[in-house]
A and B are shown apart, each in its own frame.
Chain A
Amino acid sequence: MSDVVIVGAAESARLGVIPDQSAISLATESALSALAEAGLNIADVDGVAGTLSPVDLAFMLGVRPRWLDGTMVGGCSYMLHVRHAAAAIRSGQAEVVVIAHGESGRSRIGAPIFSKEPSNTTGQFELPYGVLGAYSRFTLPAMAYLHKYGLNEADLAKVPVAQSRWASRNPRATRPALLTVDDVLASPLIAWPFHRLECCPVNDGGGALVMTTKARAADLNLRHPPVVVAGSGESCEGPGPAFMEDLTTFRAFRDASAEALRSSNLKHADIDHLMIYDAFAHVPLYGLEDAGFVGKGEAVDFIDSGATSPGGALPLNTNGGGLLYAHTGMYGMFALLEAVRQLQGRAAAQVDKVRTSLVLGVGGMFSAAGAIALCAAG
């Protein structure tokens, strides 16, 4: 996939509470900003992808597309869009693809209504037990994980503590405070052992990526260096945590990350920078282990050692993560955008000499996964 590059990467101007903008408007605003970064116009776009209807996106933008992708598997959908777009661009089905995210997660302006279907697997066998919110469903396997490795409540709190060292350097972070374990444990209980600071906030915002061929990129007046889509992977496991094969490891994380590394010819030691979708504090623990950066049960110690903090060997969630930066509901786009910014040398909390990044996303609640390996061009 090394002939496909990201040439535009932008977020909505505002992030947080945006009561005067609809979800689709947040997406189209971000798309136009990302196109401007690439020196491209609407007329150049021939492919559109998003979790909002790609028909609505194309229509609102004024694009006449010859390629559409409306893959919707939750917050990692954008990783799958990048993977699918890279294949489409490589095969000549599209040349300039816009992937756009807009979500009015907080204000619910023009936001899709979440429908709860009482006859599907989740409706019959999960929802009757009072697990409507992600905080009571996505979190469910964590105690099995903590118990297996002799860990406790305070260990889980070390995840936002480490990420707060990044968020505190990011002026756009929703939760910019530098945190201690005591701060986390003193925040209100949401679903024991998870406290508020171990659960993502819910924000409004948007983001977009523009992808094209390396050849086309060479002719463009780019504001930032192109970023190579070096490899990718995607997979899924089941409709919810209850149906995982093993509560302490996520099969789709394992499969998607392995394929992203294999297809990019990168080894773990080659990865300079890592983003792991963190809707809740246990997800980076699963991600670090399932992607093979540490052994089983070692992720808490690794994070506690400072390895993922500023100055560490494997900077992780350098925007502050979904827990502290922002979380619109489907955070994957923001994880991708932070990785692109790091590779372009323009992140708020910039890491020195980032040449490679792996972005690992979860969709649904340990349901789907997408992984993208990115490299600096040249």
Chain B
Amino acid sequence: MNPVPTPETQFFWDKARAHELWLPMCVDSGRHFFPPRPFSPFTGGAVEWRPASGRARLASFVIVHRAAPGFEERVPYIVALAELEEGPRMLTNLPGAPIDPAALKIGVPLTVTFEERGDMTLPQFCLTNDS
């Protein structure tokens, strides 16, 4: 299933289409957050969009052996959480990574990449050593 943007997330997806990762940041506290909201979840105050470094670390993962609909061709596949340098976490499939728990160490560095999915572009993260 492809994501359907809302007015509050359109900017994020537009940037993803240009292969850029941008995050909303709380102006008052300088903290980044995700998912996007038009106000800061920390203070209720103003938000600015900032480009992210694209650097992350592997926070957790599973290796899925029963496909979600549309993922039948991919099993087994990885579903992982990337913890961004700026703080928020995002899901990813670690494209290109070995499907092997022994090769996936929690904390290893990841780098943002982008996957074309129909008319949408999905941020993904790959093992930094592979890039």
Contact = CB atoms under 8 A, between A and B. Distances in A.
Contacts of B81: 140-141, 144, 241-242, 247
B90 A242 contact: yes
Contacts of A59: none
A196 B27 CA distance: 46
Interface in B15-50: 34-35
Interface residues of A, number: 36
B65 A192 contact: yes
B62 A124 contact: no
A133 B4 CA distance: 20
Contacts of B1: 116, 118, 123, 127-128, 132
A194 B69 CA distance: 20
Contact of A128 (B9, B60, B117): B117
Interface of A: 116, 118-119, 121, 123-133, 135-137, 139-144, 147, 188-194, 241-243, 247
28 contacts: A118-B4, A123-B3, A123-B4, A124-B3, A125-B3, A125-B35, A127-B3, A127-B68, A128-B1, A128-B3, A130-B71, A130-B77, A131-B64, A131-B68, A131-B91, A135-B64, A135-B66, A140-B62, A141-B60, A141-B81, A191-B62, A191-B63, A191-B64, A191-B66, A191-B79, A192-B63, A193-B62, A247-B81
Given A116-B1, A136-B64, A142-B62, 20 more contacts: A121-B35, A124-B4, A124-B35, A126-B91, A128-B1, A129-B92, A129-B93, A130-B79, A131-B64, A131-B91, A140-B61, A140-B81, A141-B60, A143-B60, A143-B62, A144-B60, A193-B101, A194-B62, A241-B81, A243-B89
